[in-house]
Structure 1
Amino acid sequence: MDKPAYVSDPVDVNTCEAQPAEPQLPATSRFLPMAMASALFMDLLDTSALGAALPTLARQFHTTPLQLKFALTAYLMTMAVFVPASGWLADRFGPRRVFVNAVKIYLLGSLCCGLSTSVTTLVAARVLQGIGGAMMTPVARLIVVATTPRERLVHAMNAFTMPAVVGPLLGPPLAGLLLEVANWRWIFFINLPVGLVGIFAVLRFVPRLRHVHPGRFDWIGFVLAALTIMTVVTLSETVGTGLLSVKGQIILLVAGLTFGTAFVLHALRTAVPMLDLRLLSKSTYRASMIGGSLMRFSISAMPFLLPLLFQIGLGWSPVRAGLVMTGMMLGSILARFGGTFAIRLVGFRKALVVTAFFTAGATMIPAAFRDSTSAIFIVTTLIAGGFFRAAHFVASSALAFADVAPEDVSRASTLSAVIQQISLGFGISLAGLTLYISAGETGRLTVSNFTWSFVVLGAVTLLSIPVYLGLDRNAGASMRDRRESLIR
């Protein structure tokens, strides 16, 4: 069994203080994935619920749903900017301490979101949420990976990512229900009890993890990475929308390329960079990052597009739209039972290729949804899409760390989180761009305006297949040696 780079101290559950002992994994380690998953649950529940509530919020703030998507992308951009600091902070002050304080910041941001009175204050509150989320989600993943033996990592990631899948899929029906019986503000207020329970679970089950001092903070790398991310995401949000002149877009493009080039050169020359790009030399990690990013375009865009299609295009109520979208949740839950078995049976490479292909198909099919489309067909399509997306990320999440050395887990987790947030933001931006172009000068959305959005997203998903085909047939084999651990 590989020894983790972090060493745990047993926790006295009465005082929550570390007690001297020989380095070992805590007896409560089986509860760690679920305890840490509260972060992902809140994070993705909010994003998907907000997407489902966009038509209502647009009426409340007297704007359009396409303009309100900035509340989604502002959060993702903030996450991507501040995530690089999470690994260093976790190494310097301890993952548990950083995680608990991050949840507190996130809950404060949730409270501010619920009290917002305009688009500007909502976006500002989402930025505050993003700062907390940036320290919360990647540190949660880091704790799970650092305290789990390699032969049980697939099982642990399966448990860890289950609430992360259920969260965004519960978002739409929950938003619909809250919009009917209360108001949109409760979409954010509901985070408060969830976050408090999560803090209690972490203090009870998560050990204090000790790590060698990470060294000086890479301020140059942090600033260059932040400037690169902000210019690139801002550019993706404004291309084709008329919000910024062509000259302004060219300036952003040149600035982004300049900052990005400077960051890459700095990262490759620095012994301990903010984001260690050298990790991409590992084929399994690189394939998971590139292929997973292409897959995440649809992961983030579907909870944005489907509520708009159902509520604006087909004229459904928020409750009906939310209930239908639970089909995706059912598919995801089924994948959790079958995903690890598929890896054991056919291996990572084939599982990733097959699930990517069927995910692309399930992403394109909603392009054909119309008023006359059978509800059974719609639900079946969403179940299939949820199943293949979830099965894909069971394999992808575990494969990313298959060949990562224990001492590199923190840096690998940080880089993975940054890439994830950027790709999620790009997915929403691409969906918004295709809708904006399709709607034309009127800006009025009809059911036919959504066709190309789903087709384009499905095509982007297909681009991940060549990435996975480049993997060795035995990629991740070391994680399949103890097969019984995959199906417990």
Structure 2
Amino acid sequence: MTSKNSHTALLWIVAVGFFMQALDTTIVNTALPSIAHSLHAQPLAMQPIVVAYTLTMALLTPASGWLADRFGTRRVYFVAILLFVIGSLCCANAQSLNQLIVARVIQGIGGSMLLPIGRLAVLRSVTGEAYVSALAVISIAGQVGPILGPTLGGWFVESFSWHWIFLINVPIGALGLIAVHRFLPDDAIAHAPPFDFIGCAMLSLCMVAFSMALDSPAQSHKLLVSGGLFVLSAIAALAYVPYAKRRPDPLFKLSLFNEPNFSVGLIGNLLCRIGSSAVPFLLPLLLQLQLGYTPLHSGLMMLPAAFAGTVAKGWISPLVKRYGYDNFLLWNTILVGASIVGFASFSVGTPLVIEIAILAVFGACNSMQFAAMNSVTLKGLSIKDAGSGNSLFSMVQMLAIGLGVSIGGGLVSVFSANLGSAALAFRIAFVCVGLVTLASAIVFRFLDAVPSRPAPQAATS
């Protein structure tokens, strides 16, 4: 096989892996009411299905690079796809909510390695300007997944059963395993650098405790348990600081935070993405449980946001060039937060054109928001810190998705119980998560002048 054909095969392998991961973050949402009915659970109790997947990916993403160095990209990527397929089969055969959550963790273990190791394989095989073009090809797969996910999930539920949203990964994964074995190079490093297992454990404990603390009051109203988990999360985070100072090669160097825009960008990203991540979870539930939409109809309603987001990606560069990152992020964040609040107006009597308009504004502004936040957060990092900063940034992204689902679902549960009206609870929840996103506009006002040099390769959306 020629070098050109080998590179083409590699890009297809990585793109398919990225597609599976991106598809699985959205295809589940429109099927949640059907899954809940099948497993004899409440629809709002389905949030751990999403959180378990995203949180697992957040925890294991930092280890992916070391695993590839230690065991080789081909072996690790093969295992990643295999675990993803096994997890998908377990999801399809789950007989209870707890079984499904465990299966999603298995899926998340595989999913956490698909994008970073695939991107690393491309980096090691494709050099120069061809690397940028290769990443552009891969990113298309990441954009197509979220576009098809909600509609495909709704169609599977109506035409077949919810089990097929997971079974679809089996034939795709099987082809991926054959392709990886045949085309991916085996490039293990004889003396891989040591991995900071202790530091990873500290930050993992911090994220897990924090996520469980937010989920605990909504699920069981145990405020004391929630408070204890918050304290545990804070202790784990604070303990990492002196540990990282003493260790010569910590998981994440504290010097990353000497770059002020990186710190501001991380906090702004976390707040902004909480609201943005709550929408894909809450909106299909609102449409199906309160407005009477079918799963397919609710999936189709997400298309305006997805298509508007794809179109708007071309607007970001000229807008930032004209207004600067600080002004652009201020006003675009306000539009994102306002559109999230606008979802509170959805009711049986809301004209379809108004719903589509709000969805389109949200999709376009949210897409530009992700691109701008990614760039401004990583732009000022040095070359040597770019990889570590991007890894931490990826963790924060996945954590924010889980937090958005936990907070959004928790608010609906709490307000439904206290007010006796699920419809009103959804409206209040959209307003609350929208206000959290609006608060990130204040954070972005602390951005310093953004360097003019190109940003390191940002984590995907």
TM range (shorter): 0.7 to 0.9
CA contact (8 A) 1:313 1:445 kept: no
> Which amino acid in structure 1 is aligned with residue 273 of structure 2?
R
Report the Cα offset of residue 402 of structure 1: 2.4
CA contact (8 A) 1:146 1:406 kept: no
Report the Cα offset of residue 374 of structure 1: 0.6
Distance 1:388 1:108 in 2: 36
List per-residue Cα deviations over 1:36-62 (Å, max 9, x = no partner): 444443223223221211111111111
Residue 39 of structure 2 is matched in structure 1 by 61
Match of 1:218 among 196, 202, 226: 196
Match of 1:129 among 100, 107, 124: 107
1:146-161 paired onto structure 2 within 5 Å:
160-161=138-139
Match of 2:383 among 385, 406, 414: 406
1:31-180 paired onto structure 2 within 5 Å:
32=11, 36-95=14-73, 97-141=75-119, 160-180=138-158
Distance 1:201 1:352 in 2: 42
Report the Cα offset of residue 108 of structure 1: 1.5
> Which amino acid in structure 2 is aligned with residue 43 of structure 1?
Q
Q: Does 1:397 align with 2:374?
A: yes
CA contact (8 A) 1:314 1:447 kept: no
Distance 2:302 2:197 in 1: 43
Assess, with a 3 A threshold, how the Cα gap between structure 1 residues 108 and 340 changes in structure 2: closer, same or farther.
Answer: farther
Report the Cα offset of residue 205 of structure 1: 8.3
Residue 458 of structure 2 is matched in structure 1 by none
Residue 298 of structure 1 is matched in structure 2 by 275
> Which amino acid in structure 1 is aligned with residue 266 of structure 2?
M
Residue 21 of structure 1 is matched in structure 2 by none
Share of identical aligned residues, percent? 32
Distance 2:288 2:253 in 1: 43
Residue 459 of structure 2 is matched in structure 1 by none
Assess, with a 3 A threshold, how the Cα gap between structure 1 residues 253 and 278 changes in structure 2: closer, same or farther.
Answer: same
Distance 1:384 1:218 in 2: 43
Assess, with a 3 A threshold, how the Cα gap between structure 1 residues 457 and 184 changes in structure 2: closer, same or farther.
Answer: same
Residue 426 of structure 2 is matched in structure 1 by 450
Q: Secondary structure at the match of 1:327?
A: helix
CA contact (8 A) 1:150 1:479 kept: no
1:297-376 paired onto structure 2 within 5 Å:
297-376=274-353
Assess, with a 3 A threshold, how the Cα gap between structure 1 residues 450 and 159 changes in structure 2: closer, same or farther.
Answer: farther
What TM-score, normalized by structure 1, do the two folds share? Answer: 0.83
Distance 1:287 1:199 in 2: 40
CA contact (8 A) 2:20 2:169 kept: yes
List per-residue Cα deviations over 1:216-260 (Å, max 9, x = no partner): 2222212222222221111111124325x3332233223222222
Report the Cα offset of residue 150 of structure 1: 10
Instruction: Let me know the Cα RMSD of the aligned residues.
Output: 3.2
Residue 433 of structure 1 is matched in structure 2 by 410
Report the Cα offset of residue 373 of structure 1: 0.5
Match of 2:361 among 368, 375, 384: 384
> How many residues in Structure 1 have an aligned counterpart in Structure 2?
455
> Which amino acid in structure 1 is aligned with residue 375 of structure 2?
A
Report the Cα offset of residue 355 of structure 1: 2.4
Q: Secondary structure at the match of 1:478?
A: coil
Assess, with a 3 A threshold, how the Cα gap between structure 1 residues 94 and 220 changes in structure 2: closer, same or farther.
Answer: same
> Which amino acid in structure 2 is aligned with residue 468 of structure 1?
F
Distance 1:331 1:436 in 2: 31
Q: Secondary structure at the match of 1:403?
A: coil
**5+ long unaligned stretches in structure 1:** 1-9, 17-26, 481-488
Q: Secondary structure at the match of 1:232?
A: helix
